[in-house]
Amino acid sequence: MPATNTRRASARRDRTSATRATEKTNKKANVRRVAAVRGSRYATSPLIETRRSRIHGLGVYAIAPIKKGTRIIEYLGERISHAEADRRYARKANDDGHTFLFIASSRTVIDASVNGNDARFINHSCDPNCEAVIERGRVYIEAIRDIEPGEELGYDYQLTWESTDDPEDLALYACRCGAKNCRGTMLDKEPVDKQKVKQKAKRKSKRKT
């Protein structure tokens, strides 16, 4: 079964993050298409373009009508192990909450900073029009409603965190999506340790019945 909304990250520095990184913008143009990066065959989609975003850095915008359920683009990049992803993430500055790492499975992380494509620039939104879908270790971005030309694409990152994480680290993941229902953070609503406790209690309850 495909898992939706599975772009995951932790605010802790010893875990793989899955947030967006800011790339240098083209000073000679307001609009910039992100072309193939060293060998990617699916660098872009005829439905979208990448340009400066009001939310953060670069963003991805529809340039044609996109129907609900459309598979817009695959999230591409170098496929590496979790250990290698943690190593790369550990080299980042302590005040930098951005990276192109995306967990695709229990064994694989996609590093879109190598052979990546437009998908890496899709910003977080608390009122998303897209979602991330994982199928057999590959990650796709799909529309969850009709999207009009000119709309910025966004999906809920639901970044994982724990109740013991440093508040200063968590503050790096503030949300600027501007949605009416914005929760002010790209982090998931509940810390992962509390989610595990609830899941464990639920399993015990099922066994008793």
Which of 58, 45, 46, 42 has its CA nearest to residue 115?
42
Checking if the pLDDT of 161 tops 70, the result is: yes
Q: The whole model's pTM is what?
A: 0.73
Give 113-137 pLDDT, tens digit per residue.
Answer: 999 999 999 999 999 999 999 999 9
Burial annotation 23-36 (CB, 10 A radius, 16+ → b, else e): beeeeeeeebebee
Q: What is the pLDDT of residue 93?
A: 58
Query: In this structure, which amino acid lies at residue 145?
Result: R
Q: Which residues contact 146 (CB under 8 A, 6 or more apart)?
A: 65, 66, 67, 68
36-93 per-position pLDDT tens digit? 333 334 457 899 999 999 998 999 999 999 999 999 999 999 999 999 998 987 776 5
Each residue of 75-85: pLDDT tens digit?
999 999 999 99
Under a CB-based contact definition with an 8 Å cutoff, are residues 15 and 9 in contact?
A: yes
User: What element of type H or E holds 135?
Assistant: strand 130-135
Length of the chain: 209
Query: Look-up: residue for tokens 């989610």?
Result: 195
- Check residues 168 and 144 and name the one with the higher pLDDT: 144
Residue 30 confidence (pLDDT): 30
Rounded alpha-carbon distances, angstroms, from residue 127 to 53, 103, 177: 16, 22, 8
Q: Pull the structure tokens for residue 22.
A: 């800011």
What is the DSSP-derived secondary structure letter of residue 10?
B
H or E element in which residue 208 lies: helix 192-208
Domains of the chain: 3-208 (2.170.270.10)
Supply the pLDDT for residue 158. 87
Q: What pLDDT band is residue 206 in, cutting at 50, 70 and 90?
A: confident
Q: Which of 47, 72, 78, 76 is nearest to 138 (CA)?
A: 76
CA–CA separation, 60 and 41 (whole Å)? 19
